[in-house]
Structure 1
Amino acid sequence: MATTTVLELSELSEHYNAPVRTTSKTLRGGYTTSPKASGYATPPRQIEAATTVLTGQPEFSLPPTDRGKSAWLFLAASFLIEAVVWGFPFSFGVFQDYYQTHEPFAGSSGIATIGTCAIGVSYMGFPLVVLLQRLYPRATRYGPKAGLLVMSLSLVASSFATTVPQLVVTQGIFYAIAACTCYCPCMLYLDEWFVSRRGLAFGIVWSGTGTGGFLIPLLLEFLLGKYGFRTALRIWAVTLLIVTMPLIYFVRPRLPISSSTHAKPYKLPFLFDKTFLFYQFASMAESIGFFLPAVYLPTYARSFLGAGHFLAALTVMLINVSAVIGTIVMGSLTDKFGISTCLIISTMGATLATFLLWGLASNLATLYAFCILYGLFASSYVSIWPAMTRDIISSAMSADESPAGENRAASYDPIMILGVMTAGRGLSNVVSGPLSEALIKNLPWKDEAASAWGSGYGPLIVFTGVTAVLGGTTVVCKRLGWMDRY
């Protein structure tokens, strides 16, 4: 005898955090909502629960969003996975400083490419992994385990490298692909567990990178100094496996997956959305300069200011620990304030810190002040992405209401939008590697200007500051009406 499964009709609007048309709609996972006569659904908190009939399934109720033990355990596990998975590549400045001064890589070119690939390739692979996990949701649960195993193996393989290209492939590309596979389910399921506190939840998870980026360099600096890079990589590979494997148990979906779910054609109409394109351009422009300080500051502190290895590595740690505060605070602000306000805070803070503090840094105290403020403001930019996603979808829904509306917003996937924006950030990161090496080649402006401007890193500082400004261009574009649809 058929039984019923109780689902909330609000699930669709929870994914978009905005009203949705209440026509018959198939949700991800195979469930279908019942149509009403006309009009729009009210916000999620005001919708009465509806039922969907599925054969062979027991009756149950879904765990609550934004609260409850399961939601917070999921968030805590995602935060810790973020910390260990992404804290390592974001600590690459420590490895770069080591590789440049120790055999067999001392004097080799392209060392910066290792770090940019570890971050950039993983970012660029995000949409593809999200697409595959949307098409095959039942296989998504195995992604973290498979990705974790490959990450650990790639680090072990890196420990046997004798050339920079070998490190690019193992510590860079292979690690990146595996990290993306391991991490993507956290983003997919977070969109199910948190609705009204979504910005805060994303901010907390993304602050894991800063937490790991603060603590992991301390361990890596110790291991590299005591054992060398080969043993250091092997120790971290084992540590990564032991720490992360138990956390995967808590990375589970809130919405049940139908056993009858099959792969279906997947559309990406938002790729041609004007609002999305403006946000994507601004985000990519900001990203191309965002990663450079964390990569070059240790070398800058050691070569220009005479800092020891620990004091040089402290620059990266300060950026990362302040990023923890920045991403959480900004995530909370996006739930309460307009997107333009948040963008102004992030971009102006990063720009002023770059030009006034790094540009004038002639001692470690000033440089450390820059690291703190840059991590606080520049790192918070990604926490505005969920608000950008809401704006993109809300704008599309408004357009659907116009006489020429095409009802495209219903097929906008917020996580895929974030995925494509992440890919753009990754592309910018990969480009920034060789571009940054060109900017400091032969140390231009050296001894021709005061403070850091004349250190040989002057063009790099200018480039970082200008790209931070470009990240806020959508504030002006919205003010001028260029992002309006009609």
Structure 2
Amino acid sequence: MVQPSRPVSIADDEGIHSSSTAFAHPMQVEEGLEDTQALPRVDGGKDAWLVLAGCFVLEALVWGFPYSFGVFQNYYSTHGPFNSQRSGVAAISTTASGIMFIASPFVAVLVQRYPRQRRLANFAGLVILVSGLVAASFTSTTGALLATQGILFAIGGLTLYFPAMYVIDEWFIARKGLAFAVIWTGTGFGGAVFPFVSQWLLDTYGFRTALRVWAVVIAVLALPSILVMRNRLPLSGSSALRPLNLAFMKLAPFWIYSFGNMMQSIAYFLPQLWLPSFAREAGMPAIAGPLALCLLNIAACGGYISQGIIVDRYHVTVAICVATLGSMLAVFVCWGLTTSPAMLYVFVILWGLTGGGFAGNWAGCAAAIRKSGHHVDTGMVISLLCVSKGVGSVVSGPISEKLLEVAPFQDADFAYGTRYGAVILFTGLSVTLGGVACIGKLAKIV
């Protein structure tokens, strides 16, 4: 049981304000301060839980929607006016996710530079995101969908999400890995609910109404989440940009973690993107695709939590090894040998519990570098790992579309013998390379 921290204070002459903890460990900040103002406890208490809940909801809304895009992908590919212009549809979701991931370090720096504008950024991001969905409902071309449901949604989502997300580093210290993992389960929760609701809206009312309904739902749920977010450390009178310590980027462990994260991320998006289409072409019931996405995202919640618990107790490579071995089994065996809905469900559950929760080890990557004796800003490490995941997101869509053009393996049975055979093999190879940090640990590099 983690005991409540003792009251500590903020000395304004140190130039410390709340947003700086996106790039500095809060305990390190607190230890050097004078006792002039009591602070709320860390790792628990009403305020901490409210912040955690608000971040969870924003996570579910901002990331759960694009992660359930497979339902929209299937609809756009089979209904007008987009069924005659399928090329590029797969890039809508991966572009949205990629932009949010890749641009996160830049937003993190802006949040630090202008801490008093954090809530304004939240509201501005919500307006942009909702506008993107509403604008998408009026489009008739794939290019317009990419610009609205893809790019505009991403800009709004990032601006809404990240300024609220970074305050978690202030409220949780001993339970930091678990706290981030709980928040990231919001993606799984949203990804589990959104496919069914989206499928019903698309089948009943069409894509235009479906997008407008989601715009309203996101606005209604995001507003109270923004309002409960609050900083733990007070703002100082100065908003000068603190120098960023990026020395850890010169270290081999950071790049090993980043490469493995990128390869795992390339694989991560492929099942989410193609499962509904795979299930339909395999002759499975109409419910099989949305249900597979739902089970995948529910299982991913367990994956995030388990990764967070492991990194709080053991070296991060233990969590990476568990995720990698489980992912390889899920892809090469379960997906590759799928011929029925039951086997498909086994695959998505195992995949969600392992590869689906891979990002849950990010806080552990930062902790591992810190324990090696180097100064590390947790928030900046996480935002840079977001970049490598964003690269994986952006390239996964176009690569998978090209792989689907590869002729099926005629002499292969099960899913390997379908046009998705090359996608399955590529996914398995990517998750295998995602475990490179385990080799680095054996070689005493990380």
**TM-based fold match above 0.5:** yes
Verify: 1:283 aligned to 2:282, yes or no: no
* Cα offsets for 1:340-392 (capped at 9, x unmatched): 22111111001111111101001111011101110111112100110001112
Inter-CA distance 317–428: structure 2 relative to 1 (3 Å threshold)? same
Task: Please state how far the C-alpha of 1:335 moved relative to its aligned partner.
Answer: 0.9
In the alignment, the residues of structure 2 paired with residue 25 and residue 353 of structure 1 have an alpha-carbon distance, to the nearest angstrom, of 51
Percentage of pairs with the same residue: 40
Verify: 1:480 aligned to 2:443, yes or no: yes
Indicate conservation of the 8 Å contact 2:245/2:377, yes or no.
no
Indicate conservation of the 8 Å contact 1:147/1:178, yes or no.
yes
Match of 1:260 in 2: 238
Indicate conservation of the 8 Å contact 1:452/1:458, yes or no.
yes
Match of 2:404 in 1: 440
Match of 2:434 in 1: 471
- Pairwise CA RMSD: 2.1
Indicate conservation of the 8 Å contact 1:288/1:431, yes or no.
yes
Match of 1:242 in 2: 220
* Cα offsets for 1:69-104 (capped at 9, x unmatched): 000111011111111121110010000000000000
Indicate conservation of the 8 Å contact 1:30/1:261, yes or no.
no
Match of 1:386 in 2: 363
Inter-CA distance 330–267: structure 2 relative to 1 (3 Å threshold)? closer
| AA in 1 matched with 2:353 | L
In the alignment, the residues of structure 2 paired with residue 287 and residue 241 of structure 1 have an alpha-carbon distance, to the nearest angstrom, of 29
Task: Please state how far the C-alpha of 1:330 moved relative to its aligned partner.
Answer: 1.8
Indicate conservation of the 8 Å contact 2:111/2:118, yes or no.
yes
Structure with more contact order per residue of length (Cα contacts < 8 Å, sep ≥ 6): 2
Considering fraction of residues, name the structure with more helix: 2
Indicate conservation of the 8 Å contact 1:29/1:261, yes or no.
no
The correspondence of residues 33-432 of structure 1 with structure 2, limited to 5 A, is 50-51=33-34, 59-108=36-85, 109-304=87-282, 306-397=283-374, 409=375, 412-432=376-396
Inter-CA distance 394–418: structure 2 relative to 1 (3 Å threshold)? same
Inter-CA distance 219–375: structure 2 relative to 1 (3 Å threshold)? same
SS at match of 1:196: coil
| AA in 1 matched with 2:426 | F
* Cα offsets for 1:52-85 (capped at 9, x unmatched): 7xxxxxx531000001100011101111111112
Task: Please state how far the C-alpha of 1:125 moved relative to its aligned partner.
Answer: 1.1
In the alignment, the residues of structure 2 paired with residue 450 and residue 325 of structure 1 have an alpha-carbon distance, to the nearest angstrom, of 31
Task: Please state how far the C-alpha of 1:264 moved relative to its aligned partner.
Answer: 4.6
In the alignment, the residues of structure 2 paired with residue 165 and residue 238 of structure 1 have an alpha-carbon distance, to the nearest angstrom, of 24
User: Rg bigger for which structure?
Assistant: 1
- TM-score when normalising by structure 1: 0.85
In the alignment, the residues of structure 1 paired with residue 33 and residue 241 of structure 2 have an alpha-carbon distance, to the nearest angstrom, of 26
Inter-CA distance 186–262: structure 2 relative to 1 (3 Å threshold)? same
In the alignment, the residues of structure 2 paired with residue 311 and residue 476 of structure 1 have an alpha-carbon distance, to the nearest angstrom, of 37
| AA in 2 matched with 1:118 | A
Indicate conservation of the 8 Å contact 1:440/1:456, yes or no.
yes
Task: Please state how far the C-alpha of 1:196 moved relative to its aligned partner.
Answer: 0.3
In the alignment, the residues of structure 1 paired with residue 324 and residue 37 of structure 2 have an alpha-carbon distance, to the nearest angstrom, of 46
Indicate conservation of the 8 Å contact 2:337/2:416, yes or no.
yes
Task: Please state how far the C-alpha of 1:131 moved relative to its aligned partner.
Answer: 1.0
Indicate conservation of the 8 Å contact 2:17/2:236, yes or no.
no
* Cα offsets for 1:243-287 (capped at 9, x unmatched): 110111111111111122223554533322222111111111111
Which of the residues 412, 417, 420 maps onto 1:454? Answer: 417
SS at match of 2:34: strand
In the alignment, the residues of structure 2 paired with residue 188 and residue 312 of structure 1 have an alpha-carbon distance, to the nearest angstrom, of 34
SS at match of 1:7: coil
Indicate conservation of the 8 Å contact 2:311/2:361, yes or no.
yes
Task: Please state how far the C-alpha of 1:328 moved relative to its aligned partner.
Answer: 1.4
Task: Please state how far the C-alpha of 1:29 moved relative to its aligned partner.
Answer: 4.9
SS at match of 2:68: helix
Indicate conservation of the 8 Å contact 1:354/1:461, yes or no.
yes
| AA in 1 matched with 2:300 | A
Indicate conservation of the 8 Å contact 1:91/1:216, yes or no.
yes
* Cα offsets for 1:274-309 (capped at 9, x unmatched): 2211111111111111110010011001002x1233
Indicate conservation of the 8 Å contact 1:350/1:373, yes or no.
yes
Verify: 1:7 aligned to 2:9, yes or no: yes
| AA in 2 matched with 1:280 | S
Please list every run of 5 or more consecutive structure 1 residues that lacks an aligned counterpart in the other structure: 10-23, 32-42, 53-58, 398-408
Inter-CA distance 116–49: structure 2 relative to 1 (3 Å threshold)? closer
Indicate conservation of the 8 Å contact 1:282/1:472, yes or no.
yes
In the alignment, the residues of structure 1 paired with residue 221 and residue 350 of structure 2 have an alpha-carbon distance, to the nearest angstrom, of 31
- TM-score when normalising by structure 2: 0.92
Task: Please state how far the C-alpha of 1:323 moved relative to its aligned partner.
Answer: 0.7
| AA in 1 matched with 2:396 | S
In the alignment, the residues of structure 2 paired with residue 110 and residue 425 of structure 1 have an alpha-carbon distance, to the nearest angstrom, of 20
